[in-house]
Structure 1
């Protein structure tokens, strides 16, 4: 099967080497990808998830130089020696963005009904979330291709927006303590996470994570904040349309990056008399953060407010090492693991499922312009190879959700 490899030194350099040894026996059959995973592949151990097969031709079998970018999606069990995980089971989790089969070592975890942890020694350095899998043997046949596609392309990203709204900035007062966005850190007091006296500014609001955060904020009970919600985006018309349809219980404004410095925006924000400004960067364009900070510094009322900055995503482009490590990054895994420590796991997953299904039912309101784009296989312009090239050149559109069908000659897999 075709393997898509990425240079660890330069993510824009990628290849599909000639196939070799396609008859290797494997237990699980997999799936695509994110530029962030490649850029942080060494620091966050993502390259360790699925090493390039030893059967790949030289020089691509050099693990120091080449790696495979993982992605979220569904795969099918081909062979299994694990009880309750028979051949034919579909599994949602973290798969290689390539067409080859892989072996996984699985052990059950709480709440045990279909939740599994991958325990291979070479993956011990990964963040917790990337070793978690869910078997869905009874659910997949009932799911239409569109639902599967949205789960592959959006669900894990959407979960980050959910955790930000429900666990980092927990509606106050809450049944569980709010969680600090930085691993290992803690809020000084529960009120630090309270949005009822804050304005929230979202940069990169048209990204999938930005959209998910906006949707989950709109689901909060009235009076839990924020006082106002400003979304800055390259697609203001689409995001404003979504906001109107969601009808959140707080004032909103949507604008393009070129309008940030306008006096009307500054006056609107200042009129809310907020004691706190929460600036969330979901992948702003160059200069976006600086523009917002300049706006805040130039207004006495805004400057007096406490500023909380959270970095969630990156702009779609290849960064230098110096640029990359100058950006603060929130990681979904740390927050989700901490959330499972403060609430019952079954309750947590049930609530996430309920909110996610609500997003699916109301997707045309939450993201009316978001459209699914199906790719085919690994090689060529219609596959992973072509779309990775577009991603590196910042040519993908924010309203596109890419999903792929990968084949091993027997069955399809979706990522």
Structure 2
């Protein structure tokens, strides 16, 4: 028997737990999630659940009116009818909020495997990989909470920084909205390492937290966006998804702004109608899996892995200075954590680690 958390596709506040029961077929393995992180990134997954992002398609619910939001965490192989997949082995990867996940391991190697389930084959491959913790070079035993909270988000941040710094005209200043969000912090860490000036935009209540992180050169509130005046070349990395803010930044920066990247949507209920006659560069949607695949092809997967691994491991201890992991246990507590995340009520210094 499995307990699954279902979310209405039409109203992500409408949730329920459903009990299902399915046996294990030949070639399949049952994974039991030990723990997973719940962040604003998962709310973004739900908001972009349908086309073209199709996050709902990774773990479809039996009722098509509902979806199962993906999360990142660790799991143990509970049972296996698949070759080279031994019960008791632990993996890191992409899971639904559920007490178990049945996968069809393919391309099994010493480092892990991919889920060969038919419904996942048209989706981004980066999300289908499961890594064995005992051979994973990025795994750090006493940093599991940080890995669940930041590892997928740090990869997004790393790819953003890589894209910016490999442009024909790399920015000298980068403005980052929703500066308290975990993906924004990961991005700021990479830019800080690259010696780029960063300006973090946040709400008044989060200014102290953003300053405490030590990752931003300057911190400003959203109301102060209209007075920004960075030198050229400058870039805007948008995690808030608020067109009025984008318009204010484009107008304030003028010709100094050479790139505008849309990454996420922490303010997911805001009016997202694109502003008309926006000055400066046209905002571009940055889809990490596509960019990551391109970089793996150009750099080679081994070199790309080495570059990202070094940066990621360096961030684990840094993140503990401003985010404290907080364990949430049980179905009711997990659902309450989801509702709080949707409502933006989880303070940025809390890192929710969920266990069923």
Corresponding residue of 1:412: none
Structure 2 counterpart SS, 1:239: helix
Residue deviations 1:58-117, cap 9 Å, x none?
xxx422x11111111111112224444311111111101122x222122227xx441422
The unaligned stretches of length 5 or more in structure 1 are 53-60, 171-177, 179-189, 297-302, 407-415
Residue deviations 1:33-55, cap 9 Å, x none?
51111122121222221222xxx
Alignment of 1:1-400 (within 5 A): 1-17=2-18, 19-21=19-21, 24-25=23-24, 27-30=30-33, 34-43=42-51, 44-52=53-61, 61-63=62-64, 65-99=65-99, 101-108=100-107, 112-137=109-134, 143-144=140-141, 147-165=143-161, 167-170=162-165, 178=166, 190-192=167-169, 194-195=170-171, 198-220=172-194, 226=196, 228-234=197-203, 235-243=206-214, 252-262=217-227, 265-266=228-229, 269=230, 272=231, 274=232, 276-283=233-240, 287-296=244-253, 303-318=254-269, 329-364=285-320, 368-377=321-330, 379-380=331-332, 382-383=333-334, 385-400=335-350
Distance in 1 between residues matched to 2:156 and 2:325, nearest whole Å: 20
Residue deviations 1:339-366, cap 9 Å, x none?
21112322322222221111123334xx
Contact map agreement 1:231 1:254 (CA 8 A) in 2:
yes
If the length of structure 2 is used for normalisation, what is the TM-score? 0.84
Residue deviations 1:206-253, cap 9 Å, x none?
111111111111112x5xxx4x3221112222222323xx5x8xxx22
Distance in 1 between residues matched to 2:317 and 2:257, nearest whole Å: 37
If the length of structure 1 is used for normalisation, what is the TM-score? 0.73
Distance in 1 between residues matched to 2:122 and 2:285, nearest whole Å: 18
Structure of greater Rg: 1
Q: Which of the pair is proportionally richer in strand?
A: 2
The unaligned stretches of length 5 or more in structure 2 are 277-282
Contact map agreement 1:257 1:288 (CA 8 A) in 2:
yes
Alpha-carbon deviation of 1:143?
4.9
Contact map agreement 1:277 1:308 (CA 8 A) in 2:
yes
Distance in 1 between residues matched to 2:105 and 2:303, nearest whole Å: 23
Structure 2 counterpart SS, 1:191: coil
In structure 2, the CA distance between the partners of 1:363 and 1:396, relative to structure 1 (3 Å rule), is closer
Contact map agreement 1:260 1:292 (CA 8 A) in 2:
yes
Contact map agreement 2:212 2:322 (CA 8 A) in 1:
no
In structure 2, the CA distance between the partners of 1:85 and 1:348, relative to structure 1 (3 Å rule), is farther
Contact map agreement 1:277 1:307 (CA 8 A) in 2:
yes
Q: What is the root-mean-square deviation in Å for CA atoms of aligned residues?
A: 2.8
Distance in 2 between residues matched to 1:32 and 1:357, nearest whole Å: 18
In structure 2, the CA distance between the partners of 1:335 and 1:371, relative to structure 1 (3 Å rule), is same
